[in-house]
Amino acid sequence: MTIVEHEQRRPSSRVRVLGCLGIVAIICGVIVVGISQLRHQVQLSEARSKAEWRQKFFKYVKDGDSSALVMDSKLLPMLATDVDCQKNLTRIDFASTKIDPSDCVYVADLPNVNSMSFYCTIGTKDLLIAARTLPITSLHFEMPDLAMESYLMLKDFPHLKNVRFEHVMDDEWIDRLKSELPNVKIDAPYPRSQEPGGAR
């Protein structure tokens, strides 16, 4: 091949390279747009599922159930602003959920609630603060997001009779709560001293 022929072929090679790069760029763009749309569809699907779930459990309580399983923060205002739910609801179980501070306050508008449980719940302290005006007699905790000192607020529940902890508790705090709440039955079956390698 002569130098002239080589020079004549070089532009076509560049064109092919640029064409390949353009195709790659287009494919990458399509993938990015596709992932974005897929993420949006997943979010819409999750939102629909949550809305359906909230409506189902709202209807249970409105139709006469006395307990509510709360796994979505927005169920609280639905329950608290319905007259039938206010009358029927006596127990709330919070499970594997994060409760927004703005929704916690609605607990205070459920005047007949006397029992609450918290399983892996974020927002427990705000919920307890809102519930202090309720006739709470029973509280159940399993791995909530509470510092040990926060349990001392249980003294603010004048009707409280029973508290159960379904997680490991330091012995000193079990003893302190029993001392601070002499009229409340403190059920803490998992003291740290009885755990393997635990010490009082």
Average pLDDT (140-156) is 95
- Average pLDDT value for residue range 142-160: 95
CA distance 185 to 43: 44
**185-195: string of b/e by CB count within 10 Å (b at 16+)?**
ebebeebbeee
C-alpha span between 17 and 68 (Å, rounded): 63
Q: Residue range 152-166: average pLDDT?
A: 97
pLDDT at 43 over 70: no
The tokens for 158 are 């004048």
- Whole-model pTM? 0.76
Residue 170 sits in a domain of what CATH number? 3.80.10.10
pLDDT for residue 34 is more than 80: no
What residues have CB less than 8 Å from 17, skipping those under 6 apart? none
Confidence of residue 23 (pLDDT cuts 50, 70, 90): confident
Is residue 182 in a domain?
Answer: yes
Tell me if 6 is assigned to some domain.
no
Instruction: Give residue 144's domain range.
Output: 44-194
**Domain-located, residue 96:** yes
Q: Is residue 166 part of a domain?
A: yes
More confident residue, 164 or 30: 164
Asked whether residue 15 is domain-assigned, the answer is no
pLDDT at 62 over 70: yes
Q: Is residue 91 assigned to a domain?
A: yes
| Mean pLDDT on 5-29 | 65
Q: How many domains does the chain have?
A: 1
For 59, 75, 86, 142, the CA distances from 99, given in Å and listed in that order, are: 20, 10, 19, 16
Asked whether residue 51 is domain-assigned, the answer is yes
Give the span between the Cα atoms of 129 and 111, in whole angstroms.
14
Structural element, H or E, at residue 165: strand 162-165
Q: Is 29 inside any structural domain? A: no
Residues in the chain: 200
